[in-house]
Amino acid sequence: MDSIASALARKDRGEVILAITNIVNFIEAATLLARIRVAMDKGIKYVIFDCDCASVVHGIQGSLETV
């Protein structure tokens, strides 16, 4: 099931500074997030996850501090 994820950022006077819309596979994203949380809860520092949904993979690349 695909979903649309959007973000809009404005300055204090309403000027748009960022607008992003992506189509993501919600089930893939939720499953991957759950697997990441389990690994973090168990203290696993090095792990490889398998995911064939490119939009999900690209969406999580980078910092996982907010997971």
Answer whether residue 59 shows pLDDT above 80.
Answer: no
d(CA 6, CA 22): 6
19, part of any domain = yes
Domain count, the chain: 1
Asked if pLDDT for residue 64 goes beyond 70, the answer is no
User: How much is the pLDDT for 4?
Assistant: 72
Q: Where are the alpha helices (DSSP H) in 1-67?
A: 26-41, 54-60
Work out the pLDDT band at 51, boundaries 50, 70, 90: confident
- 12 forms beta bridges with none
The reply to whether the predicted model has a pTM over 0.75 is no
* CA 1 to chain CA centroid, nearest Å: 16
Domain membership of residue 45 as a residue range? 2-60
66 lies in a domain? no
**3 three-class SS:** strand
CA distances from 54 to 15, 18, 28, 51, 57 (A): 31, 22, 10, 8, 5
